[in-house]
Structures are given as structure tokens and as C-alpha cells.
Structure 1
């Protein structure tokens, strides 16, 4: 996957991007206004020993049908990720900055700390969440998730630190298939750090209108693909209207951003990709991409790779310098264009303009 063909001749591209702005860092999410419950009042200890799963669920379930806010004071709360904390519609989980939710070690390959499944209007704000990868008792599976968002609408995750999960820090996807497919829609990931998770910082499968902004995805390592963000719906169903903006991708054992087929209207804007073991951005047959005003430096392979039958791609006004550090010095200018940008021979309708490379003679 990482070995691309020779650089193809660029031709004008006209990707199919949304005509109107659908994203916002302050999306409207309808949370119940009148009800508020503290998890301590439902029996949560937060002492790093007691299993607090039932107390969290009791707090959520005690809210009226109109929803409300569950308050989590400072403390270390042990959670059974096989049972999960299950969010309801119109509900906010509000964590103190010193509150930490910790997965009780298990042996299963599939678990979720928080399930946001088939609900609408949910906010998860603040605190930190820690997986069990260091103490995991099994060896198989790759789906031990932090926050798992499935078939849900109007979801915001803000200011949360996620680390050490057996699978992904965050996962966004769908349920069902074919005509019965229900994708997640209108999901905003804001000011989040997803660090040292085993499979992915964030996976996006069938979804629509996902905005990831001002977040960091770092040090993913353990089981493939080991990307910061992996957008990989493939045959599950379509993914469209994804915007990655002002994020940092650093130190991932795979690619900073990885993109696969069955996606459209993907904008990667003003991000920083550095010191990833693979590419800064790798498109494996993905189409309708805008890669604009990013800085990709010191990645072990090229800054940007467009491979297989990827098409309708704009690469514009990026700084793509000092990459291919597996083979070349990060401090040395020069080299071929493919040090920073690789376009496979099967890719088509790929345009580039205004980019800066390690070797100035290739600048657009």
C-alpha cells in the first residue's frame, strides 16, 4: 500500500464539494435544560477501585424523557466497558477537568467505554478517558473503543482526552446495511486529544457531516492501520461531507490521515502532519478530496500520497517539506518531487497549485 507508482501528470480536477457550509464549531444540540444529576448522588465513588458503571447508568436513566445533564466531579471512576455507559437522547455528560473514566481490564476483543448508539442530541464534555491496553487480559480483537458513536445524530465531543484504548479512541459509524443503513450525522469533534491508542485515534466509517477541529491525534501504535484518523467505509456504505481542520497528527505508527474508497466531499484544511511513520495523508483510491493549506513535514514516507484509482483531488497551498525521512535527512533540502508528493499512475483528475516542496524547483 505504501509503495506508489511514478508521479502522474496533474490535470484539472473538479471535486464534488458541498455548495453550502454545513459545519460549525458551535453546533446546535438540544439538551434538556431543567434536569441535572450528580453521579455521586447515584453511588459513584470515583476512588479508582469501585466499579462505578451502574451508578453512571443510574444517573443517565434518572433523567426525564426530555433529557438533561449528568455531572461528573473530580475523581477516578472505574467503568466496565463490556456493559458500557449508554447515552440517551438530549443528554450531556459533563466531566470535571480532573475527572477520569478508566476501563476495568477485560479479555474481550470488542468493548466500548461510552456507547452513543441510535440517539440524537448528545454532548460529552471535558475530563479524560483511559483504556486498558496495558492491562488487557486478551490477545485478540481490535475494537476496544473509547467513545463509540453509531447511527446517531447531533453529537458533540468536546475537550476530552482519550488514551490507551485497545482499539480506537473514537469511532463514528452506522448500523444496518443497504436500504436499512443508518449513518451517524452531524458529529463534531472539538478540542479533543486522542493519544497512544492501539488501532486508530479516530475511525470514520459510514457517516455524513463530521467536523473534526482543533484536535490532536498522536502516537497510535499496536495493530494496523495505526493511523491518526482513518476514513474507511468501503463496502459498508457511503461517507460524505467530512471536514478535518486545524488538527495535529504527530508520531502515529501508520499514516497521519488515511482515506479509502466510497467517500466524497472530504476537506483536509490547515492541519499539521509531522513525524508519522507513513504518509502525512494517504488516499487509497479515495475521491473528491480537497487538501489545502496544510503543513506536512518530516513524515517517514511522502507528505501526500494519492494512489490506486483516486480521482477528483485538489492539492493546493500546502507546505510539503522534508519528508521521506526513512531515506533522506529531514534537515536537507532538495530531492525529487516524490519525496513530498506521490501520485500513482492510475489516479486521475488530480490538480495541484501553490504548494511548497523540499526542492524549490518543483514549487507550484
Structure 2
């Protein structure tokens, strides 16, 4: 998502597997699909009468404050001034600067509150809502429309609906994020740090250009009860992509629970740990990732791993656990992986694939790689 320019060549090298996936013209043939209301309602059901709406004191932003065709300055001033904010029940137009959310803030959206990003997205840090170097932030029921379909000239692979960088104790509740030029939500760091204690609960991310959610560097990150659909346009094109940018990043206690990925360009969930590879044993990292209750419907792959494609001596160690998965209607193999052996231990259990041959192919493929096992 937001890798600094000096790391782009490095990133291209370590992400060879993903680049190959997107070079065959597949993205050009991709088409979005309507998600049924039955699926949507299982994951996206914002509560506009919760305790977040009775916080006292809370600053209520009146719609009369929104004048003209750019509301960025007035909303930013209110955010900087007040700890608890109820945004107006209307569309808020935000320019290319986005909105910066500082520490100890609670931002609450009403039913018809919508942030429309005017763009353009041009390079790193072109995010819509920016939670950078902050702590104790809650964003409740955000609705954000990105600039993907803007007629303005845009560049790069960046511009998340919400970006969390080097921040701690962050909650994002029931986001509805669509048409972002980059990721729907980004969690990580840009300078060798990490984000910590970040929770995304509930919501729906649709038609993101890069990934629905990217996690690059973090401790105690939890993504739960969310739907991510129709991700396409710029690799990796995954619903959720867990992928460090370089060997200074960390991935500790990453939990993905009860999520649904639908019709994504590449994988429902992808894990690419090549960025942690190193030639210095002292810099070698251990990771632990749990994916429990993942349903994928119609993505190219239900699940994807790329763990050790570099020439570095030491790849990542640790554990990846995938259990209670249900991968349906995969357009290609249900589980795609790079063929190289790796030091990370992967354990699959209770994996259901709707196609008998693809189930057999899955079970056969994981027997050929060390440190992967299938349990019942």
C-alpha cells in the first residue's frame, strides 16, 4: 500500500509471485459482482443507537458549517479541537489532504454521514482518514467513498480509506468503504515501527483497487466479522493481504476471525512474508497468524501464501494457523502457494472446498512442502 519510494524496487523483487499473478491479463478480464443482501447483512449491520451516540460530552457538527465544495478545513479544525465528535448527517467533501485524526479522539458517523474523497491520489500518504502516530482512537460507523472513479489524473498504489500508521489502541467499528484508489484499510508503519492493539469489527469493504485490508507491521491486530468484495485493479488484489514491506516490520498476534471475502481479483486472504527475509540471523523474525472462520466465495483463490522466494539466507519463522475455512467457487486452485520450502509452520484444519477435485488438489499440494500439515 504505502511503501516509500526507496523501497519500491525491493518490494517488486520480493513480491515476484504476486506480480506474476497479475501479468497474465487477468485483471483486465475481471468484473465486479453484486453481493447478495443476505451476505451483506451477516457482516455489515451498523447500530446507530449504541453507546457511542450517547457519549457525553460530544461535539455535534451542524450541517450549516459545511459550505462550498470542500469541507476539509472546517472538519479538520473541529477534529483538532474536540475529543468526541458527531459528524453531520450528510456528505462531507474532503480534498487530497485527507483528515488527520490525533490521539484521544472518538469520531462518530450518523446513518447518512458520508466522507467523499475528492482526490486526487498521488503517491504515498494520500489516505482519506489518517491515523498516524496516534493512540486511543475510535472511528464508529464510517462511510467513506474513495477517488477510484474520479476523472482526475491519479498515480501510485496508495490512498486508503483509513490508514493506521505507528498507532496504538485503535478501534474501527462497522466501516463501509468503497472505491478507494489504494486499500480499503491499511495497518502498519512506514519507518520500521508498527501499530499495536488495532481492532476492526464488522463492516463491508467493496471495490478497493489494491487490497481490501493490508496489514504490514503490527502487534495484536484483530479483524473480525467483516465482508470484503470485488477487490481488483492493482496487485496483490486480495481481500486481506498480510505482507510486511521489509525486515524491520513485525507481525505478532495477527487474528482474522469470521470474515467473508467475495469475488476478489486474486485471493480472499493472502500471506506474503518475503519482506521479512534477511541475510542477518539476528534480524530474522518470528510471526504468528491465526485465521479462523474464513469464507471465500468466488475469488481467484480462497487462500494464498508466498513465504520464501528471495535469495536471502533466513526467511521468517513462527506459526500460521488456518482453521474452519470454507472456500467456494474458486476461479482457480483454492489454495495457491509458492513452491519453495520455508521455515514458518502452517497448520490447516477443518478446510472445506466445494469442489471435490480442488479438495484433493489442496490436500495433495500441501504434502509436497515442508512445515505444512493438515489436521482434522
State the TM-score, normalized to the length of structure 1.
0.77
Gaps of 5+ in 1: 5-32, 323-332, 355-364
Gaps of 5+ in 2: 1-16, 22-54, 277-285, 308-315
CA distance in 1, matches of 2:367, 2:157: 30
Shift of 1:34: 5.1
| Partner of residue 248 from structure 1, selected from 260, 272, 282 | 260
CA distance in 2, matches of 1:125, 1:197: 20
Shift of 1:289: 0.6
CA distance in 2, matches of 1:74, 1:126: 12
CA distance in 1, matches of 2:268, 2:76: 35
Higher-strand-fraction structure: 1
Cα pair distance change 1:83/1:303, threshold 3 Å: same
CA distance in 1, matches of 2:87, 2:364: 46
- State yes or no: 1:36 paired with 2:58: yes
Q: Deviations over 1:52-105 (max 9, x none)?
A: 111211111212xxxx3110131111011x322111211111000211100013
Could you say which residue in structure 2 is the equivalent of 1:319?
Answer: 352
Could you say which residue in structure 2 is the equivalent of 1:219?
Answer: 230
Written as runs of structure 1 = structure 2, the 5 A alignment for 1:216-295 is: 216-235=227-246, 236-261=248-273, 262=276, 264-277=287-300, 279-285=301-307, 288-295=319-326
Tell me how many residue pairs correspond in the alignment.
304
- State yes or no: 1:152 paired with 2:163: no
Written as runs of structure 1 = structure 2, the 5 A alignment for 1:60-209 is: 60-63=79-82, 68-80=83-95, 82-106=96-120, 108-110=122-124, 111-177=126-192, 182-209=193-220
Equivalent residues of 2:196, 2:219 under 8 A apart: yes
Shift of 1:40: 2.4
Shift of 1:341: 6.3
Larger relative contact order, structure 1 or 2 (CA cutoff 8 Å, min sep 6): 1
Q: CA RMSD in A?
A: 2.5
CA distance in 1, matches of 2:364, 2:80: 52
Cα pair distance change 1:171/1:336, threshold 3 Å: closer
**SS across alignment from 2:62:** helix
Higher-helix-fraction structure: 2
Equivalent residues of 2:367, 2:373 under 8 A apart: no
Shift of 1:128: 1.0
Shift of 1:352: 0.5
Equivalent residues of 2:157, 2:182 under 8 A apart: yes
State the TM-score, normalized to the length of structure 2.
0.75
CA distance in 2, matches of 1:336, 1:153: 40
**SS across alignment from 2:119:** coil
**SS across alignment from 1:104:** strand
